[in-house]
Structure 1
Amino acid sequence: MSFDPGDPEFIADPYPAFAALRATGEVHHHDGLGLPVAVSHAACSAVLRDRSLGRLWTDAAPVEAFTAFNLLHRNSLLESEPPTHTRLRGLISAAFARGHTERLRPRVEALAERMVATLADRIAADGSADLIEHLAAPLPVEVIGELLGVPEEHRPRLRPWSNAIVKMYEYDVPAPVADAAERASREFADYLGELADERAVSPQADLISDLVAVRAGTDRLTRDELVATAVLLLMAGHEATVNVIGNGVLALLRHREQWDRLVADPALLPTAVEELIRFDAPLQLFERTAIAPVTIGGHRVAAGDKIAALLGAAGRDPLVFPEPDRLDVGRSPNPHLGFGAGIHYCVGAPLARVEVGAALRALVIRVPGLRLLGVQRRSEFVIRGVRSLLVA
């Protein structure tokens, strides 16, 4: 019993396959992916939290063809373990702690309202519009641009760079796609390095300036670490937020009673955000490598071997979530693993919640009669999202 991550039917709805696997065990070896996958909430949580498992970066090969891509990941918070991770997280968290989420909240809300107004105008003029094009995709790019201090005229470059790089996280990546990821990595790293150099001379009220300035005694981020951090924030913040909004609005419009419930009571928005992340996870798979032998869900993982947590499967575990296939915008408690767990818990989670909440609030207030006309899913498995969402 397994699943084909390239099967369009599986991509459309992977959750029945996950349920079938979970019914026969918490961990299964997947021959196609070449590693065991955890499908229960408990096993996935163990994969993310157990310190016998870590994020051990292995360079993309051939190394000489992926110089920039590998450099970004060798210096990334996400791809490091203690003591390096402890040092990086301390410095990055100190920079984030300078009030960036609250600084951006009014701007995020204003951006969401403006974009939803544009969406509504397009619907009024044409009868329909693509919610991804007019809201889900541009909102996080603008927010990350504001966060990092990227000038507005340069922000259109951010989304193509992110889209190209994250395709390397799928399996069996075609050579042209891999080449595009390396090219995007190099261009993005060069751009952010130049921006960091400018901020070192002329600091502003942005995260790049704070990352340049942050210190722990005499320790500071190297230029490569700073660039890798900024790239990680864009890719994680952009991709996750786009897909939570896209997947989430799709789920709400397919479960009309929950959309109507949110329209009637916007106070449910905080729990709705968590539920949408649980119900259709934007990141479906997250790998760990065994630093020492460990047993997860009855499955022995030898030192040096990999295991993956299927986060989408964890979110539908009936032992943790009553009626897991039912969307419930008031669900509480909601211990989903959408932002990870353990030492690699997403540092940008508070900002992501602000963005998704602002988008939903603007939608339910401005276009309460929104309805679904059509959807086109992305073909990738690991990064789960919607390519277009036609609404009226």
Structure 2
Amino acid sequence: MSTVVSGLPPRFDALSPEVVADPYPSYRELREAGPLCRMGPASFGVTRYRDVASLMRDPRLGSEFPDSYHRMSAGEGPAGEFFGQIVLYRDPPDHTRLRRLIGKAFSPSLVRAFRPRLERMVDDLLAEAAEGGGFDAVRDLAFPLPVMVVCALMGIPAADHDLIRPHALNLGRAFAAIVPQSDRAAADEAVRWLRGYLGEVLATRRAEAGDDLLSRMLAAEDGGDTLSHEEIVDNAVFSFFAGFETTTNLIATGCAALLEHPDQLGLLRADPGLVPRAVEEFLRYDSPIQGVARMVREPLEVGGRTIRAGRVLILLLGSANRDQERFDDPDSLLVTRDPNPHVAFGGGTHLCLGAALARVEADVVFRSLLRRFRVLAPAAPPTRRTGTFRAYESIPVAVEAA
């Protein structure tokens, strides 16, 4: 029989300067206080690994929110309306259909076939660093690479990458739990511009298909079911967030973590075969996405408290990934950690569609850094980028070529 808990759980302000700088001490305090915290009107954060891992697969939670929620979160413009169309915020049966069809375009075989081209991209980006004695891991690597990759996968010409990049960055503003008023115009313009651009590209693919993602999404069919023009455009726009923001921050936080832990960098130099484990540890240690929202569709109990239907639960992935009940020495970076059952990519039916691609990008990047440079060291303190995600503005790196 469950125990009913009285009193309010502690409040958590995810945007306080202390939390933005380093959320992990606050997460520890929250986990010790209980499995829930208050985060906003009718919303609670879930702090512990066991509950987060279980709730990601609980059918009583959904990802489809009412239009009023998206308008409250992102405003009345295109960004608020856009969320109702993408696979991230749809529940079965629509989510099942969209994921099945979009998944045909993001097949593992496509990711494997793309790796040689990805390796050339990384080599090109690092070539100047080898000559100049240093580079910025965000500006020169983590920021440009994911947009290059998504554009290449969609068959978008390289000449347009610089046009797309600022809109892809601003699109990330729309994915905050509550988009600040100061960011809403930029988020709306990003959605509007990317929809228009990709809509034109899609029209050319209808006339002459290729072997790119948009052509694959056009051709995807299952039992006579296909994707509409609007579904392809909006989910292609979403892929700029999924393929850009998360991967940018994975590469950046991984670089920052290695520079801060030269002993772990030494382990990777001694055994580059540890790179896949290291990538998983970067995802756990400083998760690019710290939390995901779920709508409570049926009453459920968490830690002795009944959460009513219509409430919102924020599954705090960053907190779960530092839970001492699940991970030994959770606040240490250990590139040899195995197993590593982190929840950085979510789980259940909403497991990140681009997880395989993000892992391959990070694997190529860190292998290339180890191969090209015999010295990787901080050139100046890194600076954080404020916002919802664990992101960096700048990570200056001093290097010596191998």
Report if TM-score (shorter chain) is over 0.5.
Answer: yes
Q: Is the 8 A contact 2:148 2:161 kept in 1?
A: yes
Are residues 119 and 23 of structure 1, via their aligned partners in 2, closer, same or farther at CA, if it must alter by over 3 Å? same
Amino acid at match of 1:257: D
Aligned to 2:60: 52
State how 1:17-32 maps to structure 2 within 5 Å: 17-31=26-40
* Partner residue in 1 for 2:83: 73
Alignment of 1:216-227 (within 5 A): 216-227=222-233
Matches for 1:1-392 after TM superposition, within 5 Å: 1-31=10-40, 35-59=43-67, 60-61=70-71, 66-97=76-107, 99-122=109-132, 124=133, 128-372=134-378, 373-380=380-387, 382-392=388-398
Separation in 2 of the partners of 1:100 and 1:70? 32
Distance 1:73 1:7 in 2: 26
* Local SS of the residue matching 2:191: helix
SS at 2:13's partner residue?
coil
Write the distance in 2 (CA, Å) between the matches of 1:162 and 1:299. Answer: 40
2:6 alignment partner in structure 1: none
Structure-2 change in CA distance of 1:98 and 1:284 (3 Å): closer
Q: State the distance in 2 between where 1:64 and 1:171 align.
A: 8
Counterpart contact for 2:294–2:313, Cα < 8 Å: yes
Change (3 A) 1:368 1:41: farther
Give the match's secondary structure for 1:250: helix
Gaps of 5+ in 2: 1-9
Deviation at 1:182, TM superposition (A): 0.7
User: Could you tell me the TM-score, scaled by structure 1's length?
Assistant: 0.94
Partners of 1:62 and 1:254 in 2: CA distance = 39
CA–CA separation in structure 1 for the residues paired with 2:260 and 2:318 = 18
Q: CA deviation at 1:16?
A: 0.8
The AA in structure 2 aligned to 1:276 is F
CA displacement, residues 283-313 of structure 1 (integer Å, 9 cap, x when unaligned): 0111000111112333322111101011110
Is 187-196 or 175-184 further displaced after alignment? 175-184
Percent identical pairs in the alignment equals: 36
Q: Secondary structure at the match of 2:33?
A: coil
One-letter identity of the residue aligned with 2:32 = A
Equivalent AA in structure 1 for residue 91 of structure 2: E
Match of 2:4 in 1: none
Secondary structure of 1:289 counterpart: strand
Letter in 1 for 2:180: P
Task: State whether residues 12 and 38 of structure 2, in contact with CA within 8 Å, keep that contact through their aligned partners in structure 1.
Answer: no
Question: CA 1:194 to 1:233, structure 2 compared with 1: closer, same or farther past 3 Å?
Answer: same
CA shift, 1:64, in A, is 12
One-letter amino acid matched to 1:375: P
Q: Is the contact made by 1:244 and 1:282 (CA closer than 8 Å) also made in structure 2?
A: yes
1:133-174 per-residue CA deviation (whole Å, 9 max, x = no partner) reads 111111111111111111111112332112212212325533
Q: CA deviation at 1:30?
A: 2.7
- 1:96, distance to aligned residue in structure 2 (A): 2.2
Amino acid at match of 1:347: L
Range with bigger deviation, 70-79 or 208-217: 70-79
- Whole-angstrom distance in 1 between the partners of 2:382 and 2:106: 36
CA contact (8 A) 2:317 2:343 kept: yes
Contact 1:46 1:296 in 2 (8 A): no
Q: Is residue 339–residue 345 contact of structure 1 (8 Å, CA) maintained in 2?
A: yes
Say how many residue pairs are matched. Answer: 386
User: Secondary structure at 1:49's aligned position in 2?
Assistant: coil
> Contact 2:385–2:392 (CA<8 Å) still a contact in 1?
yes
Higher mean C-alpha displacement, 154-163 vs 255-264: 154-163
Q: Is the CA contact (8 Å cut-off) linking 2:65 and 2:295 kept in structure 1?
A: no
8 Å contact 1:118–1:134 — kept in the other structure? no
* Aligned mates of 2:201, 2:72 — CA distance in 1: 29
Q: Distance in 2 between matches of 1:173 and 1:69?
A: 10
Structure 1 residue 115: Cα displacement: 1.3
Alpha-carbon distance in structure 2 between the residues aligned to 1:39 and 1:58: 25
- Deviation track 1:179-212 (CA, whole Å, cap 9, x = no partner) reads 1111110110111111111111111111100001
Task: Name which of structure 1's ranges 215-224 and 352-361 shifts more when overlaid on structure 2.
Answer: 215-224
CA change 1:271–1:65 in 2 (3 A) is closer
- Give, in angstroms, the shift of residue 3 of structure 1: 4.0
2:74, 2:174 within 8 Å by CA — same for their partners in 1? no
Structure 1: 5+ residue runs without aligned partners? none
Q: TM-score, normalised by structure 2?
A: 0.92
